[in-house]
């Protein structure tokens, strides 16, 4: 097998692709031949050591949580799957960016036939995070919710989930995404200087809730806007959330096979769209992260092993 590895904290230059023995699935595990594996901003923070206190690195380290592929072998005791099954799921071992991966059988769900490999391989982190983030603020029809990084991987799904609930979505993003966001029922709000004035102008009667998908400055803005703290949720600014008493619910709070299967079904039947910004072969993993680090991609970037 071939797998993305890094041996120390650092920028994307520490990443390399290594040749390794193909693992044997242990009891309760499945070996998957990976067809697609998404990349995520959280992996940058883990690799650089920014999340060391929360998710410390162990070296040599693999990378990646998202995966979709074909079952090729079963460990003892596995009855839910058989070789040849198409699946998507997740790894908590930082190991999915590889040609093969072993995962517990309960961390996989059946890939709907209508769901393409690339989309399936990029769905786990953004799908369950979007589900969790929306659930955290308990939006109601007719309310107004602001969303930062609204055109990113998580944001594109959050916007659509909110719109399906009859929410007025103020989607903070680059103007390059205005047309797409409008097509999904949101009101685009350009980020940058003067954002607070643009938000208050778009919602003169007030903003009911705020979802931060980018970083601390948006959490502070939400508090300054007077939004109740139990209706502010961030998926990244964990320390500030604890300091200010706002929510920080993300992927860990909604990682279940049932929720992933629900999100996969919604994307497969066209209810939700997960835009794919780019795909890269495994050998170009550093190029993939170079694009992601610009923070201007719409939707997901996915590796094809």
Cβ-contact 37, 98 below 8 angstroms: yes
Sign of the CA dihedral with 161 first, then 38, 44, and 291 last? negative
Mean pLDDT of the 276-301 span: 96
How far is it, in rounded angstroms, from Cα 213 to Cα 126? 11
E strands, the chain, where?
A: 2-5, 16-19, 29-39, 66-74, 86-90, 100-104, 108-110, 144-147, 168-173, 187-190, 209-212, 232-234, 276-281, 300-304
Can you give the pLDDT at residue 257?
Answer: 98
Mean pLDDT of the 127-149 span: 98
Burial (CB count <10 Å: 0-12, 13-18, 19+), residue 135:
middle
Q: pLDDT tens digits for 151-189?
A: 999 999 999 999 999 999 999 999 999 999 999 999 999
Task: List phi, psi (to 5°) of 157.
Answer: -75, -40
Can you give the pLDDT at residue 157?
Answer: 98
How far is it, in rounded angstroms, from Cα 188 to Cα 168? 11
Q: State the average pLDDT for the chain.
A: 97
Can you give the pLDDT at residue 191?
Answer: 97
Cβ-contact 180, 297 below 8 angstroms: no
Mean pLDDT of the 51-70 span: 93
Which domains are delineated in the chain? 2-123+274-304 (3.90.180.10), 126-252 (3.40.50.720)
How far is it, in rounded angstroms, from Cα 301 to Cα 20? 25
Mean pLDDT of the 287-298 span: 93
Of the pLDDT bands very low, low, confident and very high (cuts 50, 70, 90), residue 57 is confident
Burial (CB count <10 Å: 0-12, 13-18, 19+), residue 248:
buried
What tokens were used for 230?
């139990």
Of the pLDDT bands very low, low, confident and very high (cuts 50, 70, 90), residue 295 is confident
Q: CB-based contacts of 247: which residues, under 8 Å, 6+ apart?
A: 136, 137, 230, 232, 233, 234, 241
Q: pLDDT tens digits for 106-133?
A: 999 999 999 999 999 999 999 999 999 9
Closest CA to 12 of 55, 53, 41, 52: 41
- Provide, rounded to the nearest whole percent, the portion of the chain with pLDDT above 70: 100
3-class DSSP state for residue 108? strand
What are residue 276's DSSP bridge partners? 300
Q: pLDDT tens digits for 181-227?
A: 999 999 999 999 999 999 999 999 999 999 999 999 999 999 999 99
3-class DSSP state for residue 103? strand
Can you give the pLDDT at residue 296?
Answer: 86
Mean pLDDT of the 38-57 span: 92
What tokens were used for 48?
């650089």
Can you give the pLDDT at residue 55?
Answer: 86
- The tokens 């806007």 sit on which residue? 225
């Amino acid at each position: 097998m071939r797998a993305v590895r890094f041996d120390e904290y650092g920028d994307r230059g520490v990443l390399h692709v290594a040749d390794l023995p193909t693992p044997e699935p242990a009891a309760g595990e499945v070996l998957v031949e990976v067809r697609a594996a998404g990349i995520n901003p959280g992996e940058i923070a883990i690799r650089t050591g920014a999340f060391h206190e929360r998710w410390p690195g162990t070296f040599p380290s693999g990378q990646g949580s998202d995966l979709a592929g074909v079952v090729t072998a079963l460990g003892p005791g596995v009855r839910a799957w058989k070789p040849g099954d198409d699946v998507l799921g997740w790894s908590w071992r930082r190991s999915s960016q590889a040609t093969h991966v072993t995962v517990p059988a309960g961390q996989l769900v059946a890939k709907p036939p209508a769901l393409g490999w690339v989309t399936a391989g990029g769905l786990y982190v953004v799908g369950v995070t979007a589900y969790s983030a929306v659930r955290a603020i308990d939006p109601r029809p007719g309310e107004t919710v602001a969303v930062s990084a609204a055109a990113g991987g998580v944001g594109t799904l959050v916007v659509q989930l909110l719109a399906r609930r009859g929410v007025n979505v103020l989607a903070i993003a680059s103007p390059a995404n205005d047309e797409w966001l409008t097509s999904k029922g949101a009101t685009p709000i350009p980020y940058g200087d003067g954002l607070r004035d643009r938000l208050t102008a778009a919602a003169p009667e007030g903003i009911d809730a705020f979802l931060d998908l980018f970083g601390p400055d948006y959490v502070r803005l939400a508090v300054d806007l007077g939004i109740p703290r139990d209706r502010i949720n961030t998926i990244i600014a964990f320390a500030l959330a604890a300091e200010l008493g706002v929510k920080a619910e993300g992927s860990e709070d909604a990682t279940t096979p049932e929720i992933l299967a629900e999100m996969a079904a919604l994307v497969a039947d066209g209810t939700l769209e997960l835009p794919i910004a780019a795909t890269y072969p495994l050998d170009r993993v550093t190029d993939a992260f170079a694009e992601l680090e610009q923070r201007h991609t719409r939707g997901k970037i996915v590796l094809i092993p």
